[in-house]
């Protein structure tokens, strides 16, 4: 994977844009101002907009419904999730203990895995969940010590909401790693399983838009695409993002407006 950035390249208003969800399209499911208009402007110019999220909790139907509330029409083919990337790491018939909410569980079942709560386990999958208890942590760590693979949907330490940052799936994953003594295979942005999912679904990507440089920015570098950072999620004005973005805007609408203005569109 190529991590080198090609600094200073503005995204082209063409091809396929890969756009993050949490912190870019919405905060805790509440649409960010004028985001639907921004996507409509891109589509009017022939840009294919595909959405890629590290949040493994929502099911695909839930994501489609949230997008509808944001006035963005999508099909399931327009949505790439870390849940799907994580599911790609298990085989049909594998017994999987899932410390994760609906989206990850849905993707694992579609993959042909068997979700179990006890007995022999082939893999433990950790995603974002509100059901993370001491007993569940102990169960997962024991399964990993007994030979199960440890898979994380993503390693994002925080999750943006209108009221500030909440613990993310990465915060849960490090607990299982510490308790089991094993390092997880991570599936979501910017890791190889998500890169392979993006490549299979999208081919070449013209731009990556996100709010977290450590995931969206690194993914852009590994895809060889410009990185557009928006400040509507985890990155605040005055932060020093690493890797450095090619372009910065307050939100998705502002980003699209400044690019279209620059091209006189």
Q: Say how far apart CA 88 and CA 193 lie, in whole Å.
A: 7
Please compute Rg for the chain using Cα positions: 18
In degrees, rounded to 5, the angle at the alpha carbon of residue 75 between the alpha carbons of residues 34 and 96 is: 110
Q: Say how far apart CA 188 and CA 118 lie, in whole Å.
A: 26
In sequence order, what are the beta bridge partners of 165?
160
Q: Say how far apart CA 62 and CA 59 lie, in whole Å.
A: 5
User: Environment class of residue 121 by beta-carbon count within 10 Å: exposed (0-12), middle (13-18) or buried (19+)?
Assistant: buried
- So which residues are the catalytic ones? 20, 22
209 by DSSP, 3-state: which?
Answer: strand
Residue that is written with structure tokens 């999912």 in the block: 197
DSSP structure string for 77-143: GGEEEHHHHHHTTS-TT-EEEEES-HHHHHHHHHHTPEE-SSS--SEEEE---S---HHHHHHHHHH
């Amino acid at each position: 994977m190529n991590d080198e950035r090609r600094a200073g390249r503005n995204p082209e208003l063409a091809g396929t844009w890969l756009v993050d969800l949490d912190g870019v399209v919405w905060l805790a499911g509440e649409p960010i101002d004028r985001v639907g208009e921004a996507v409509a402007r891109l589509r009017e110019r022939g840009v294919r907009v595909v959405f890629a999220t590290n949040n493994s909790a929502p099911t695909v139907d839930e994501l489609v419904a949230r997008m509808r509330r944001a006035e963005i029409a999508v099909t399931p083919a327009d949505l790439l999730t870390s849940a799907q990337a994580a599911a790609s790491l298990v085989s049909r018939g594998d017994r999987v203990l899932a410390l994760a909410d609906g989206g990850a569980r849905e993707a694992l079942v579609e993959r042909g895995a068997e979700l179990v709560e006890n007995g022999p386990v082939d893999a433990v999958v950790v995603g974002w969940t509100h059901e993370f208890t001491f007993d569940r942590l102990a169960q997962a760590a024991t399964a990993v010590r007994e030979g199960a693979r440890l898979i994380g949907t993503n390693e994002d330490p925080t999750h943006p909401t209108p009221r500030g940052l909440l613990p993310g799936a990465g915060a849960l994953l490090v607990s299982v790693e510490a308790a089991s003594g094993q390092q997880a295979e991570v599936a979501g942005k910017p890791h190889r399983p998500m890169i392979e999912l993006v490549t299979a679904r999208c081919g070449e990507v013209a731009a990556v838009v996100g709010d977290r440089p450590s995931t969206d920015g690194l993914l852009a570098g590994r895809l060889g695409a410009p990185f557009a950072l928006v400040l509507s999620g985890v990155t605040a004005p005055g932060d020093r993002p690493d890797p450095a973005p090619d372009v910065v805007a307050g939100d998705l609408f502002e980003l699209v407006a400044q690019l279209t203005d620059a091209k006189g569109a």
